[in-house]
Amino acid sequence: MTPQPTGRLRGNDLVLTRRFRASTEDVWTSITDPASTARWFGKWEGKPGVGNEIRVQMGFEEGSPWLTKKIEVCEPARRLVLDSVGSAFTSRLELSLKATNDGCELEFVQHAIDRMKVGDLGPGWEYYLDCLVAARENQPLPAFESYYPAQKAYFAGLA
């Protein structure tokens, strides 16, 4: 079964959201604590703080590569912005949390994407965000094959 894609383009930014029945502080821990991120994305190492660089291991990618990210913005339980460093694959990722009546909403943005590559990027971020949901609910992680290439046409159609 193919999960329903939720992403959209806002200009050249890829935007995806997820809702949680949890506080922004609780979800913040899930997206920033190395033990928590290891469960759904990959572990990271380094010293947290604006201006610092961290190394993030993409735990669910072939070869589990390490990427270097610079912390551009860190507003606990509210907003995190990371830039790629020293990689041919450059990206600016922004994760924002806002409280809702019954919990909170996470908005994930990959800024300034190549619109011609959104068919490849979108399914991957849908997968990782659904992994976050599954990890928070102590459920098995979804299979990437359910996302790609099944969602590629949807995302390519956004461009």
71: CATH:
3.30.530.20
Residue 96's pLDDT is: 98
Sequence-ordered alpha helix ranges (H) in the chain: 24-32, 34-40, 118-136, 152-158
**Among 130, 154, 131, CA closest to 14:** 154
- Percent of the chain whose predicted confidence (pLDDT) is above 90: 91
Residue 3 in any domain: the answer is: no
Residue 58 in any domain: the answer is: yes
- Average pLDDT of every residue of the chain: 95
Residue 54's pLDDT is: 97
Mean local confidence (pLDDT), 106-118: 96
SS3 140: coil
- Torsion sign, CA atoms 127, 108, 88, 74: negative
Burial grade of 53 (CB within 10 A; 0-12, 13-18, 19 or more): middle
Residue 88's pLDDT is: 65
Q: Give the orientation angle of helix 118-136 with respect to helix 24-32, to 10 degrees.
A: 120
* 48-98 per-position pLDDT tens digit: 999 999 999 988 888 999 999 999 999 999 999 999 998 766 799 999 999
Q: Which domain holds residue 127?
A: 8-158
Query: What's the total number of domains in the chain?
Result: 1
79 vs 15: CA distance, rounded Å: 15
Mean local confidence (pLDDT), 127-155: 97
Q: Residue 39: left (phi > 0), alpha (psi -120 to 50), or beta?
A: alpha
Residue 1 in any domain: the answer is: no
At 64, list the tokens.
């589990």
Residue 79 in any domain: the answer is: yes
Residue 1's pLDDT is: 73
41 vs 135: CA distance, rounded Å: 10
User: Which residues are paired to 126 by β-bridges?
Assistant: none
82 vs 73: CA distance, rounded Å: 7
Q: Which of 10-24, 27-41, 51-65 has the lowest mean pLDDT?
A: 51-65
Mean local confidence (pLDDT), 31-52: 96
